[in-house]
Structure 1
Amino acid sequence: MRGEVIMKKYTSIKVIFLLFVMGLTACLDDEGNYNYADLGNFYVDTVGIQHTYTIKQFSSFALTPKFIYDGDKSVLKYKWELYKSDEPYIGPSSYGTGYSHDYTRDDYPDYTISTERELDVKIEAIPGAYYLVFTATDTTSGLKTTMDWRLTVEGVIGSGLAVLYKNAGGSDIDIVYSPLFNGSLTETSYNRNAYSTVNPTRPLTGEPKELVSAIYASYDLYYLYMTSGEDVVRLSSIDMSIADEFDGLFAGKIPAVKDLNGIFVRNYNTFFINNGVAYKANSGGLQLTPMAMKNDDYYAVAGNTTWQVNSLFYDGLHRRFIFSKMWSAEIDPVINSAAHFDFGNVGKDLIHWSNGYWQSDNQINYCFFKNPVDDGKRYMYVFVADKSTASAYTSKCAMDISACPDIALAHSFATGERGPVVFYATDANVYRMNYNVDDATSSATAVWTPAAGEVITRIELFKNAGLNLENSTKDKYLLVATYSSTGKGKIYVIESDISSGVLGAEPVAVYEFDGRIADFDFIAQ
């Protein structure tokens, strides 16, 4: 009896188990017979294919899907679409070309980049991660098959030395990517004609002057300002497209004359000098406003930021220093008759102004002057502007450097910030100036001469710490730009001792360009 009960229980368990297995098998064998159409040989073969790609913006990209279809291919239509990966790729897309960054979803309801079976197009989407979606549709039945890939678009610019030059075709910008400045690189490469490639119908008019990299870290904005004697544009440093024309940079009345004599940026503040008028904006979005003086006038020729983001300018009209506090739109004359010179009555014409070195104080200023009637005399004034009021600025020296060889012919200067180093250049030579601030003495020696047929157009000490490097490159390299009668420009990179200015025997790199170099700056992003 007891055995029969056990047997019946065993039989019941066995039946239940068999029913479970049958149900499971039915589920596994279910081919989805819910009025789904059988595509047959209508699919994209994904076996062994590459699923992810990385390309540079504005480069060409080709891809042929392994598409299988046994029917009449003449009834098929194709579509390739590109969608930002952080948005659904089925439906509207917010991305159009890379030339503007203000599109909305309604602007591009269907971002189709090709209607061919084989993709071969230039990818203009802004840098980022995307879905690349291929769809084949049978126009007779309406059946579709799709396949998607992951596509990463890298910016064409990246971090490198941006070089502004001019040739017979106009002004342009090349980017140099070098392991000297970026430790993640193993070899030097170039992005040629970066400006004209993206802006083919918008040449910069006039002779090129300045190229200034502006980083507004608080706003996560990166720009390049490109200027000439009669033109100004602000560029996106992501793709070199024009972010703003001159008229779009100002709040209120637009200046009638485009003559930008200086741009300097610190933190979230931007200062312009245009046609002698100083302008200021307190955000990366700009909207520059002019700064004026009460009961006085001025003509700014150069400027610098001082304590925090106070600004200091040189008034070429009255040959004096003038200043403005960080939240003020007014400019006041500097009332400070210091030990070595009178800030409010310098009486000389400014040639060059940059930060320099004084006992590790980063507010030290080096200004080079000549007399109003040029008699060959040259002067170097050094002062510290580390106080909240200009009346407390400290002068360090007013040095007559006229005895330095060829100083009257000097057209370019470079001042070190990590050591007492000053270079100046004529067409034919680079000189290192030895000086003593305490006793106002100086001398100079020629330390570098270009190759035959080349003239020096500009010198600068590299003013960036670099990227992914063991040691800072700030002031480590002297960059010397030259130009030859062949129409070619070069930048010689010469290692410089940061404390003495002693140069290496040979350049550590030479970069070549198709034109006369006007300016250069490092883009770090």
Structure 2
Amino acid sequence: MKTFKYVAGLAILILLSACYEDKGNYDYHEIDEVTVKGIPESVEIDRFSRLEIKPDISGSIFGNDTSKYSYEWKIADKVISTQKDLDYEVSNAQGSYTLLFTIAEKETRVKTFVTTKLIVNYSTSSDGILVVSSKNGKADLSYLRLDMPEAKFMTMFYNKNHDEPLGTHPRQLYQTYVDGASAYVRRYGGYGIKLICDEGLVQLSNVTLDYMGKIDKNFFLNYGELYPIPDYSSYVPEYMNSIVFQWRRTPYGSIMNDEFLYVIAGGAVYVISYERAKKPEIFYSNYVGEEGQRCKFSPMMFVTGRKPTPNKGKNLNAGWTTTETECVFDENQGVFYIFSSGQLTAVDPDVSFPGYKAFYGEDTYQMGFCFAAMEKEGKVRFATFNTESQNHIVSVDATEASPSGRFFMLRNSPYVYFNTTKGIYKYNILNVGSGISPAASDKILSLEDLGYSKEAVISDICLHRNEKKMVIAVSRYGDDEQGKGDELKSDIVEVSLGGAKPELLKKYVGVCGVKPLVIYKYRTFARNDEYLVD
């Protein structure tokens, strides 16, 4: 009986459905199946580099007519482009992300998705060329990593990714090592890159190049009150220099690091001692010179002598044995002094340079033999002296040199490199003792040799630590002091110094702004270009 009821019910349903008039719209469209090629499964890229992907898109209906689709690229739910071809400066922090590419057919809105794993690295932690320059009056950074032959300059990237600008009127760019070493970074953060500008002595991470505070009054107070108490109102950083005393790998694999940073500010000396396993220690010197006259130290200070410490068995050392004395110049008396254990001793009591200001000094190839450059009313004078043999100071006019130039002393021979706005010079410092001034014949390279017109000027130079090549910052801005406009008009040029004449290695055109400062940036401190992991 139950079976009969089920069969009867089914028959009724069939009759009812036959009486129903179907008025639905069944105008079906064929789905366009999209094929995407040219997008890798994963991409590893440096932060601030340009991510360029040009996918090849074809549809089963529209073929290669890419105008039939709309596009969207997203990283972490942020739309970074609505173009088919991706050209994006990666500002994301270090990490792993999902890059999502969406293709939507404009009529039906049917979507096709492609995902890629995006890995962002801090390329700035590698060896490279670091530049600070100005654009529209604000300082900014450009960077080139040197461990990849085909790497491109990351140009003027800092201010794009920070709320506060880097600074204004940069005057000195410098790298310290111990406070940038990996162990120090883990404890206190990396502070290895330093910049003097109108805002003070700014510190940047040697890993990320992010802002890490300033060496200012608060920095000093953080590590204890100095004595005598400085007049912090006159603390205006003018100059910095440092020496790594020790970078030793022990037989047990550990490394001991020790470095002094000298800062001249307001005519006084601030010494910051960095050790691998400690926080900084601060020393302050505001000495009174002879006859009670207060000293005003020029922006110049250096260790008077050093030599590499040899390896001892398994104890590998890339540091220095030094005289443990420094040289300073007092502008009030025009006297070179030896700075040692809290005492000032005149290098040569019988020689003074009234009205002069020292702007460069360095120890040389011979232990205790020193070279310095000073200027008076724009005219330069070179001086040499030996703190080990007590030789008198000798000096000579250097009309070919400029007080705005950079100087680099060779470690194993008596030569110094320096630049003017138009050329590079290599001068034998032994000529000072012979009364021979730098001459035009000492010029080894001019901007014309590099193909530049008369409007171009050399803004800065830096000698590579292997002393076989040099990087030159060339400005083509002319009278534009602020670096106005969108076009970057300063170049970075690398030249080889190995032959009789410098040879062009690479020229990077339009990578930085006006008045560029440049340094070779290294991951670790090492002597003679030897790689040393810390």
Q: TM-score, normalised by structure 2?
A: 0.58
Query: Mind listing any 5+ residue stretches in structure 1 that lack a counterpart?
Result: 1-48, 63-112, 133-148, 386-391, 466-473
Residue 512 (structure 1) aligns with: 510
Q: 1:514 Cα deviation (Å)?
A: 3.5
Give the alignment of 1:254-403 within 5 angstroms. 255-257=232-234, 259-267=236-244, 268-283=259-274, 285-286=279-280, 288-293=282-287, 297-301=294-298, 302-306=300-304, 307=322, 310-325=325-340, 328=341, 330=342, 332-337=343-348, 342=351, 345-347=352-354, 349-355=356-362, 357-359=364-366, 361=367, 364-371=369-376, 374=377, 376=379, 378-385=380-387, 392=388, 394-395=390-391, 398-402=394-398
Pairs within 5 Å for 1:178-197: 182=146, 184-197=147-160
Give me the whole-angstrom Cα distance separating, in 2, the residues matched to 1:357 and 1:416. Answer: 7
The one-letter code of the counterpart of 1:204 is: G
Q: Is the 8 A contact 2:303 2:362 kept in 1?
A: no
Q: Is the 8 A contact 2:348 2:392 kept in 1?
A: no
Change in Cα spacing, 1:257 to 1:489, as seen in structure 2 (3 Å) is farther
Aligned to 1:12: none
Q: Equivalent residue for 1:250?
A: 220
Tell me what 2:66 maps to: none
**Kept after mapping to 1: 8 A contact 2:386/2:392:** yes
Find the aligned partners of 1:243 and 1:507 in 2 and give their Cα distance: 34
Partner residue, 1:56: 46
Q: CA distance change for structure 1 residues 523 and 427 in 2, over 3 Å: closer, same or farther?
A: closer
Give the root-mean-square deviation of aligned CA atoms.
4.3
Question: For residue 479 of structure 1, what is the amino acid of its counterpart?
Answer: I
What is the aligned counterpart of 1:176 among 140, 144, 148? 144
The Cα offsets for residues 431-463 of structure 1, whole Å up to 9 and x where unpaired, read as 444564453434422443322243424343414
Aligned to 1:227: 196
Conserved? CA contact 1:315–1:322, under 8 Å? yes
- For residues 14-33 of structure 1, the aligned pairs below 5 Å read none
* Structure 2 partner of 1:476: 469
Q: Which moved more, 1:262-271 or 1:425-434?
A: 425-434
CA distance in 1, matches of 2:378, 2:173: 32
2:383 partner letter: Y
Classify 1:443/1:278 alpha carbon distance in 2 versus 1 (closer, same or farther; 3 Å).
closer
- 5+ residue gaps in structure 2? 1-38, 53-74, 83-87, 99-115, 245-258, 305-321, 484-488, 524-534
Match of 1:213 among 175, 179, 182: 175
Question: Mean alpha-carbon deviation: is it higher for 158-167 or for 431-440?
Answer: 431-440
Measure the CA separation in 2 of the matches of 1:203 and 1:453: 31
CA 1:435/1:321 → structure 2, altered by over 3 Å: closer, same or farther? closer
The CA distance in 2 between the partners of 1:319 and 1:475, in whole Å, is: 36
The change in CA–CA distance for 1:410 and 1:490 in structure 2 (over 3 A counts) is same
- AA of the residue aligned to 2:474: A
Counterpart in 1 of 2:103? none
CA gap 1:51/1:495 in 2 versus in 1, 3 angstroms: closer
